[in-house]
Structure 1
């Protein structure tokens, strides 16, 4: 295992193998022994996997089990055509704009990244596969909710306090509905400083053959590099999402 990614996959695989087998939910020491790493390293990796929702603490008994993020990724990967067709479109966006681009799906009230093409500053945005972001204050999240009425948003986000996000994040259902109403006409969400300070998310919904939104395709740009590119980026993201829709038909 030569990379952190390899070690993370090995750790996730060890947890899944134990859960499916007779060993039950493994603890830190068991996992360290299984994959041949020291407990301090394993402990740090477990915290990172848990933060992404890929694993979680088991109920009633000590140990780890796979979490909701794992199942969401598996469900998204089940539609292999969507991911396979998304990859060249994402690569095309990165090649054209030199900014990170990614594909997200809804998962338990969050936007979950399931595929990404990264750039030199990708670590500053939630573009890595497995990353989760709030569904109400991000470009991908709002694109996933673009067809929701104000009433549907109120039902879906009941109990959400609208705390956090960037300086221009919606602070309630009416504001979120107004944002989406404006972006719905253009078919692409431009989320300016709604999640990260001084970052603009461009996101467009991806639809299945029935017209339902099943994913969101996004590209993020620091505001200082945006200049006069807003219209061009928005159009290219919408075009890529449209091509992905056509591929699903």
Structure 2
């Protein structure tokens, strides 16, 4: 009898569903409208197979077709909404994030790792529009965000080393850390001190501090951050001003998960 950690048998997988989801994932900010040939190239499907999946997704309302190009429709958001409405973490975190954000007068969010990306699952702005990335469903690189770096720090060392080996950090801003050795030091620092502090590495003017979110067993299941505009709070004051309130919410959230 296979265990939960064993990979599934090939006969138990639905290949059509897997390929259909790959077709949806082929579309992103840089590739919002694609031809059949482009989808085939991106997914590894034949042009005939890509055409069938695109026609099926269009029939189901997930795609639109215009001038030989396909694009996603808002119906795709139902897939993400299903997670946000059914998962315990966003539902439990949202009211506590509200308290945290309004107690500090800043933005706060909770995120999880999805492969090498940080996905925001809950957020409160407290009237401060700090960044468009602090919205449920947004994806950003894990290596240049406080939540992502905190979650990387919670991984076993072998997984951290594997991540660093395959990562290709890019200079998103002039502050972005792209050197793998320095990234390793920052991840180790986050693990040692229990929080991660990132200064304008994802966006100029965005400073963020993050702590891990653990369940009642002590497993890290997410990370929680507070984000501020650089013009309102110097980096030297981030820990003193934000960390005590974050630790209080961290403890409350952990008791509920």
Fold match (TM-score > 0.5): yes
Deviation at 1:235, TM superposition (A): 2.3
Query: Of the candidates 149, 168, 171, which is equivalent to residue 161 of structure 1?
Result: 168
Q: Deviations over 1:78-136 (max 9, x none)?
A: 432x2222112111122112211111111232111111112444263411111111000
Distance in 2, Cα, partners of 1:158 & 1:79: 32
Matched, 1:235 2:244: yes
Residue from 16, 29, 34 that aligns with 1:51: 29
Q: Which of 108, 123, 133 matches 1:126?
A: 133
Runs of 5+ consecutive residues of structure 1 not aligned to the other structure: 1-18, 26-45
Q: State whether residues 151 and 222 of structure 2, in contact with CA within 8 Å, keep that contact through their aligned partners in structure 1.
A: yes
Give the root-mean-square deviation of aligned CA atoms: 3.7
Aligned-residue offset at 1:186: 2.6
User: How far apart are the structure 1 equivalents of 2:103 and 2:34?
Assistant: 38
Residue 87 of structure 2: aligned partner: 79
d(CA) in 1 for partners of 2:116 and 2:77? Answer: 12
CA distance change for structure 1 residues 72 and 177 in 2, over 3 Å: closer, same or farther?
farther
* Structure 1 length-normalised TM: 0.67
**Counterpart of 1:93 in 2: which secondary structure?**
helix
Aligned length: 204
Which string of whole-angstrom CA distances, capped at 9 and with x for unpartnered residues, describes residues 46-102 of structure 1?
9xx94399x99865124457999976664565432x222211211112211221111
The residue number in structure 1 matching 2:144 is: 137
Pick from 81, 93, 96 the counterpart of residue 100 of structure 2.
93
Alpha-carbon spacing, 1:168–1:113, altered in 2? closer, same or farther (3 Å): same
Residue deviations 1:204-236 (CA, integer Å, cap 9, x gap): 111233322211111101122114453120222
Structure 1 residues 108 and 148: alpha-carbon distance in aligned structure 2, compared to 1, 3 A threshold: closer
Q: Are positions 1:193 and 2:168 aligned together? A: no
For residues 114 and 136 of structure 1, the distance between their equivalents in structure 2, rounded to whole angstroms, comes to 18
Deviation at 1:146, TM superposition (A): 1.7
- How far the C-alpha of 1:157 sits from its partner, in A, is 4.2
Contact persistence 1:69–1:107 (CA under 8 A): no
1:73 touches 1:114 (CA, 8 Å); kept in 2? Answer: no
